[in-house]
A and B are shown apart, each in its own frame.
Chain A
Amino acid sequence: MTTLSAGAVRRRAARLPRGALVGAVVAVWVLLWIPLRGRDTLELSTSELTPLHERVNDLRDAINSSRGSSPVFTAFFDVIRQAVDALTVFLQSLISQPAYGRPVPLIGWLGVVAVATLCAYAVGNLRVAVLTAAGFTSFGLLGYWQQSMDTLALTLAAVLICLLIGIPLGIWAGLSDRLHRVLTPVLDFMQTMPTFVYLAPLTLFFLIGPASGVIATLIYAMPPVIRITAHGIRTVALSSVEAGTSLGATKWQLLRTVRVPLAKRTIVLGVNQTVMCALSMVTIAALIDAPGLGQVVLRALQTLDVGTAFSAGLAIVIMAIVLDRVTTAARDRVETQYRLGPKARGRRRVTLAGLGVGAAVSLYLSYTYVWAAFFPGPDSGGVVGGQVASGVTQASDWVQVHLGAVTDAIRNAISYGLLNPLQSLIAESPWYLVSTVVLALAWIVAGARIVPTVAVCLGLLVATGLWQEAMVTLAATLVATVIVMALGVVVGVWMGRSDRADGLIRPTLDAAQVMPAFVYLVPFLGLFGASRFTAIVAAVVFAAPVAIKLVADGVRGVPATVVEAATASGSSSWQVITKVQLPLARQSLTLAANQGLIYVLSMVVVGGLVGAGALGYLVVAGFSQSDLYGKGLAAGVAVVLLGVLLDRTTQAAARRFGADVGNRG
């Protein structure tokens, strides 16, 4: 305890000037803002274009008109398109679309459920096998069997391609520092560039069809597997590699027998993240006619049919949870399979054989008989889908009618009390003042090395011609992140301290993360109106789960002995939390803030759909209006720049905190 409190004292002493400096910078900012307000804000009205935006439009037109004649298109893009189309159509004809002259796909529902269960058991365990069987059956019960299978086929196609390219690339990037350096900004770009920006051009290159949907999905879903694989290869213990080298292993042998096997667990985590990202693209890919559940959600949105959107969204959530649990179980099995005794291994083999026979019989039945091919139940809504939909619709209507007054008050309190003043300060200050302040703050919290990166980002933001819009978006992003962190700390600490709370809350967090935002936008609009606050709430729903989970893990990671010692010396729960658990979980907290920011930023476009205006709206408008294409692209780039700026700064700050704690610990 004595070392700990001494450390805490010293830390406070070290932090004080930093906090004071930040305060001083903000105070100077406010003082300068009063006389300079409204000057040099680089405002641009919504329909106005800069020469840059016009040049992008021209470039788009040039590509558009030369598409047919250029040999680059016919040779390069068409080959890719045909290959991706062939793979996707093959998967669809297996499980979702009528094919080979049959009125149904080759494998009916019974066969799919049986094979999925078998696969889940083969890579995981009995528990996830049962979950898989139940999950897949629920698609049919909700009345969305075929749409779910279309979604599954598209997701599988995208994930397969991601793994085929991503794992080798990730291994390479794990071995080569140079490739890693080149790849990182490219991956950042792929992950933070709003999909709306490249959705329309994709159909120019790859036509309207399955290929475009799959490629849109894999652009977003590939980065995690590359990053995490590279990370896995990099973090293989040096001692293991040295042991291999000393035994005279060649570079290739070392990779095959030491690095990849030891990184396997991490690589499977990358696969898991890629699957999740692919599923999160379901609704957006539906905007360019990708078949499946996304279509149902979008169509329901046109008539504000919350219930139908929810039950299709529920099917997506179930699919995500099943795939997540199966890949997580697969990751754990990588470790446990070596520890199984011969008896347990034998039992496993028998169960596998049993499931295998069952799957073979089911495959035959579902190929041959109507009852095993079409999921039984009414045509629309399925067995329970109709009830789910009407229940949700009623609940959402009730909430909107009865809670309207309360939610209006909340919106006004946050908007007038926090958002409007902050936005006024950030977006109505001259651009050079904001830039200077941001540079100073970055220097103070993250060190001098971050300053060039921040300066470049700010310069490019000015160059996009959308400075003020970017500042409006930044203000809303900051407010959302504050709320995310507040939730993250409160709920995260609760979950970290109680297993019961954790078990109860975690599935809800998973659902909130994978439920397509389009599903809950309508009820939120009903509650909070078309406003920036609605966008903030949507972003919080998406981003808070990550922050909460990270904080919970951090609190859980505090050694039990330390907590016990504090309790034994008479500290109250409050003291244990504020004096021991939170300070020791500080690195998790900064990581949570970093991830919270990035996740909030990835909802900017969704925010544009519900009244947040600014960059998000411009991206959407660029997707729908051909004249605004260039401006939408610039807005997308501005989102990426904000993302890079915030990510690099918070990461550098986190490293600095980590180093501080490390030096003193």
Chain B
Amino acid sequence: MSRVGIGRFVAVLAVGALALTACGSKIENSGSTSPSKAACGTVNIAVNPWVGYQADAAVIAYIATKELGCTVTKKNLTEEVSWQGFGTGAVDVVLENWGHPDLKKTYIDEQKVAVEYGLTGNKGIIGWYVPPWLAQEHPDITDWNNLNKYADKFKTSESGGKGQLLLGDPSFVTNDEALVKNLKLDFKVVYAGSEAALIQAFRTAEQQKQWMIGYFYEPQWFLSEVKLVHVNLPAYTEGCDADPAKVACDYAPYDLDKIVSKKFADSGSPAAALIKNFQWTNEHQNAVALDIAVNKLSDDDAAKKWVEANPDVWQAWIKN
């Protein structure tokens, strides 16, 4: 480009810019915070990596922001790291906790930085599942006594000549290796290594009618896409899983609960009351989770949709 050309280019640019300034709207500084905001302050919610949890966090964040005027900061963390956050002050709330007696011992009993804050109302079920086509063609497969009969069919390149039992997310404490041994099943535990791997495996198995059995759990958005069928192991009784090496019974049902930091519980924030009162059903959570996972709504839009449809449920949470 010549010197004149550059000059002309700059001039055109400047004129164009001036023209644009004439019609654009200016950026306004955001106004000072309202008094109600100051009363609530900031709430740090840990968001653990599954969609059901995301649904909980979406609804709580929506109500806390819109109704109570809080500033909500969501932090995307795994469970272990979230609990560490109680100690360092980076996390105020864990909204959906699956058991974790070891973490409770460390952070609630020993370090005393966190407190239990009641149940969410969601029931967690863990167990072994098969794809629906399999349960339909071989109804007796949902009884563990018949598993050995079909073990050959479950063979894969990974299972070393035995049937393959696929485990998923490494963040769950599982008894499956002990179960296979103690129930004398001709199966080998294979670690899929992530929730995504497990879901994809079930999806492929249903699509292509492959034999597959694996570890899964409810509530989970994927169950609304493929209705996996639970395989019945010997029924759970209180204390049957006391010795991890000798477990020979199904997983205990989980009552999912909420954990908050001690500091937050003592703060008297209206958000603390909201979280203490927060309780809903698996259907509620599934509705929001489905909107996020399948209908691709943003967290906020999904929460808004649910909040508008269920005023009587959430209004009880903020009445006090």
Q: Which A residues lie at the B interface, using CB under 8 A?
A: 45-47, 61, 64-65, 67-68, 98, 101-104, 199-200, 203-204, 207-209, 286-289, 295, 298-299, 301-305, 347, 350-351, 353-354, 357-358, 361-362, 365, 367-373, 379-380, 400-401, 404, 411-412, 415-416, 419-420, 521-522, 525-526, 529-533, 608-613, 616-617, 620-621, 623-627
Measured between C-beta atoms, what is the minimum distance from A160 to chain B in Å?
A: 24
Is B6 an interface residue, CB under 8 A from the partner?
A: yes
Given contacts A207-B90, A350-B1, A370-B26, contact A286 B194 (CB under 8 A): no
Please determine whether B78 and A624 come into contact, CB atoms closer than 8 angstroms. Answer: yes
B74 to chain A, nearest CB (A): 9
Q: Among the listed A68, A203, A531, A610, which residue makes an inter-chain contact with B81, where contact means beta carbons less than 8 Å apart?
A: A203
- Shortest CB-to-CB span from B227 to chain A, Å, is 17
User: Quick check: B193 and A365 within 8 Å, CB to CB?
Assistant: no
Question: Knowing A65-B111, A101-B29, A369-B20 touch, does A46 contact B9 (C-beta < 8 A)?
Answer: no
A353 to B90, CA, bound (A): 46
Contact A304 B6 (CB under 8 A): no
B288 contacts chain A at the CB level, 8 A cutoff: no
Chain B residues bordering chain A, tally (CB within 8 A) = 74
The answer to whether B173 and A531 have CB atoms under 8 Å apart is no
A207 to B81: give the CA distance in the assembly, Å.
10
Contact between A373 and B27 (Cβ–Cβ < 8 Å)? yes
8 A Cβ contacts from B48-88 to A: 49-51, 54, 75-81, 84-85, 87-88
Chain A positions within 8 Å of B207 at CB level? 400-401
Question: Within 8 Å CB of A350, what residues of B?
Answer: 1, 3, 6
Contacts of A47 in B (CB 8 A): 177-178, 244
- A303: which of B9, B24, B193, B221 is its contact (CB, 8 Å)? B221
Q: Which residues of A contact B20 (CB under 8 A)?
A: 365, 369, 371-372
Whether the Cβ atoms of A530 and B91 lie closer than 8 Å is no
B198 proximal to A (CB < 8 A): yes
Q: Give Cα A365–Cα B30 distance, bound, in whole angstroms.
A: 19
**Which of chain B's residues has its CB closest to A618's CB?**
B170
Known: A298-B76, A609-B194, A610-B194. A526 touches B200 (CB 8 A): yes
Q: Is the CB of A623 within 8 A of B80?
A: yes
Cα-based distance from A68 to B84 in the complex (angstroms): 12
| Residue contact B208 to A404, C-beta cutoff 8 Å | yes
Which of B30, B50, B189, B200 is close to A102, meaning CB atoms less than 8 Å apart? B30
Q: Which residues of B contact A68 (CB under 8 A)?
A: 87
Contacts of B21 in A (CB 8 A): 365, 368-369
Query: Nearest residue in B to A308 (C-beta to C-beta)?
Result: B296
Tell me the residues in window 187-238 of chain B with beta carbons closer than 8 Å to chain A beta carbons: 189-201, 203-204, 207-208, 221
Residue from A65, A299, A525 whose CB has the most chain B CB atoms within 10 Å: A525
Q: Which of these, A304, A412, A420, contacts B196 with CB under 8 Å?
A: A304
Whether the pair A103, B27 counts as a contact (CB closer than 8 A) is yes
CA distance A353 to B84 in the complex (A): 52
Given known contacts A609-B196, A625-B170, what 7 new A-B pairs fall within 8 Å (CB)? A61-B106, A203-B88, A207-B85, A529-B204, A613-B190, A613-B191, A617-B170
B84 touches A64 (CB 8 A): yes
For A303, give the chain B residue with the smallest CB separation. Answer: B293
CA distance A203 to B85 in the complex (A): 8
Min CB distance A151 to B, Å, is: 14
Inter-chain contact A369/B156, CB cutoff 8 Å? no
Binds A, one of B10-18, B119-127, B144-152, B266-274: B10-18
CB < 8 Å neighbour of A522 from B13, B51, B178, B200: B200
B122 vs chain A, min Cβ distance (A): 17
B281 within 8 A of A: no
Residue of A nearest to B73 (CB): A289
Residues in B neighbouring A419, C-beta threshold 8 A: 157
Q: B193 contacts A616, CB within 8 Å?
A: yes
Chain B 153-166, CB within 8 Å of chain A: the 1/0 string?
Answer: 00011100000001
The smallest beta-carbon distance between B67 and chain A, in angstroms, is 22
B312 close to chain A: CB less than 8 A: no
| Assembled-state Cα–Cα distance A532/B103 (Å) | 32
Q: Is the CB of B158 within 8 A of A354?
A: no
> What string of 1s and 0s marks CB contacts (under 8 Å) between B170-191 and chain A?
1101000110000000000111
Q: Which residues of B sit under 8 angstroms from A287, Cβ to Cβ?
A: 77-78, 81
Q: Does B110 contact A (CB under 8 A)?
A: yes
Dominant secondary structure of chain A at its interface with chain B: helix
Q: When the two chains form their complex, are residues B10 and A357 in contact, meaning their CB atoms are under 8 A apart?
A: yes
Q: Does B298 contact A (CB under 8 A)?
A: yes
Given A207-B90, A361-B14, A522-B200, is A102 in contact with B6 using a C-beta cutoff of 8 Å? no
- Bound state CA distance, A207 and B9, in angstroms? 50
Q: Please determine whether B196 and A521 come into contact, CB atoms closer than 8 angstroms.
A: yes
Chain B nearest Cβ from A308, distance in angstroms: 8
The A-contacting residues of B in range 83-99, CB under 8 angstroms, are 84-85, 87-91
For residue A98, which residues in chain B have a CB less than 8 angstroms away from its CB? 30
**Which residues from chain B contact A404 at a C-beta distance below 8 Å?**
204, 208
Separation of A412 and B178 alpha carbons in the complex (Å) = 28
The 5 closest A-B pairs by CB, nearest first: A624-B171, A415-B157, A369-B24, A530-B192, A621-B170
A208 touches B196 (CB 8 A): no
Q: Is the CB of A370 within 8 A of B25?
A: yes
A530 in contact with B193 (CB, 8 Å): yes
- For A621, what are the chain B residues with a Cβ–Cβ distance below 8 Å? 170-171
A103 touches B30 (CB 8 A): yes
Tell me whether B156 and A529 are in contact (CB under 8 A). Answer: yes
B273 to chain A, nearest CB (A): 25
Task: Tell me the minimal C-beta distance from B161 to chain A in angstroms.
Answer: 10
- Whole-angstrom distance from the CB of B3 to the nearest CB of chain A? 5
A380 vs B8: C-alpha distance when bound (angstroms): 38
Chain B residues, CB < 8 A from A371: 20, 24-25
Q: Could you give 15 example pairs across A and B, Cβ below 8 Å?
A: A64-B84, A68-B87, A103-B30, A207-B90, A208-B84, A286-B76, A368-B26, A369-B26, A380-B296, A415-B158, A521-B194, A526-B203, A624-B80, A626-B103, A627-B173
Instruction: Determine whether the beta carbon of A207 is less than 8 Å from that of B157.
Output: no
Task: Give complex CA distance A533, B156 in Å.
Answer: 12
B157 touches A609 (CB 8 A): no
Report if B102 contacts A (CB, 8 A): yes
Contact of A361 among B13, B177, B189, B196 (CB under 8 A): B13
Q: Which residue of B lies closest to A632 (CB)?
A: B170
Q: Give A532 to B196 CA distance when docked, in angstroms.
A: 16
Does B88 lie within 8 Å of A370, measured CB to CB? no
CA distance A609 to B21 in the complex (A): 51
Closest to B107 in A: A64
Q: Determine which of A61, A415, A625 lies in contact with B80 in the assembled complex, contact meaning CB atoms within 8 Å.
A: A625
Minimal Cβ-Cβ distance residue in A for B91: A208
Taken together as a complex, chains A and B put the C-alpha atoms of A150 and B253 apart, in Å, by: 41
User: CB-CB < 8 A to B89: which residues of A?
Assistant: 207
- Which residues does chain A contribute within 8 Å of B29, judged by CB atoms? 101-103
Given A420-B157, A531-B157, A532-B158, verify A304-B199 contact (CB < 8 Å): yes
Evaluate contact between A354 and B173: CB separation under 8 angstroms: no
The complex places the Cα of A368 from the Cα of B26 at a distance, in Å, of 6
- Considering the complex, give the chain B residue whose CB is closest to the CB of A301: B196
Q: From residue A643, how far is it (CB to closest CB) to chain B in Å?
A: 20
- B171 near A289 with CB under 8 A, answer no
> Is A289 within 8 A of B77, CB to CB?
yes
A616 to B170, CA, bound (A): 11
A301, B3: Cα distance in complex, Å: 52
Query: A610 near B50 (CB under 8 angstroms)?
Result: no
Closest to B1 in A: A351
Q: Which residues of B contact A521 (CB under 8 A)?
A: 194, 196-197
**Cα separation A209 to B199 with both chains bound (whole Å):** 30
